[in-house]
């Protein structure tokens, strides 16, 4: 897996520079990233501050863990249900 080059805090600061009037081309040249990357960041992190981005990441992680827990419990429930049906 490719290592992330920028942290969320850096991304927010890059986007704030763009919002302050710096063009996309100048921002890309300064930080060595592509224009499409900046537009993806803008769609995901646009208008957020650093604490909001950290909260978003923690909520995404919690959501991932809850989905995994649900999948595990659902599978166990299905196995027990199949076992109970075969036994009687």
Residues 69 and 40 in one domain: no
Residues 40 and 53 in one domain: no
Q: Maximum CA pair distance of the chain?
A: 72
Cα gap 82→86, rounded to integer Å: 6
Residues 30 and 54 in one domain: no
Residues 62 and 78 in one domain: yes
pLDDT in tens, 12-69: 999 999 999 999 999 999 999 999 999 999 999 888 898 999 999 999 999 999 999 9
Residues 42 and 30 in one domain: yes
Alpha helices in the chain, H assignment, sequence order: 8-19, 24-31, 35-45, 50-87
pLDDT at 1 over 70: no
Domain count across the chain = 2
Residues 65 and 79 in one domain: yes
| Residue 2 domain flag | no
Q: Which two tokens stand for residue 47?
A: 């208008």
pLDDT at 20: 92
Three-state DSSP at 69 gives: helix
Q: Can you give the residue range of the structural domain that contains 54? A: 49-88
């Amino acid at each position: 897996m490719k290592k992330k080059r920028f942290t969320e805090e850096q991304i927010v600061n890059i986007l704030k520079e763009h919002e302050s009037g710096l063009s996309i081309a100048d921002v890309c040249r300064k930080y060595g990233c592509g224009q499409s990357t900046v537009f993806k960041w803008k769609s995901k992190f646009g208008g957020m501050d650093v604490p909001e981005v950290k909260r978003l990441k923690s909520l995404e992680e919690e959501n991932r863990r809850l989905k995994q827990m649900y999948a595990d419990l659902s599978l166990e429930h299905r196995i027990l249900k199949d076992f109970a049906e075969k036994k009687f």
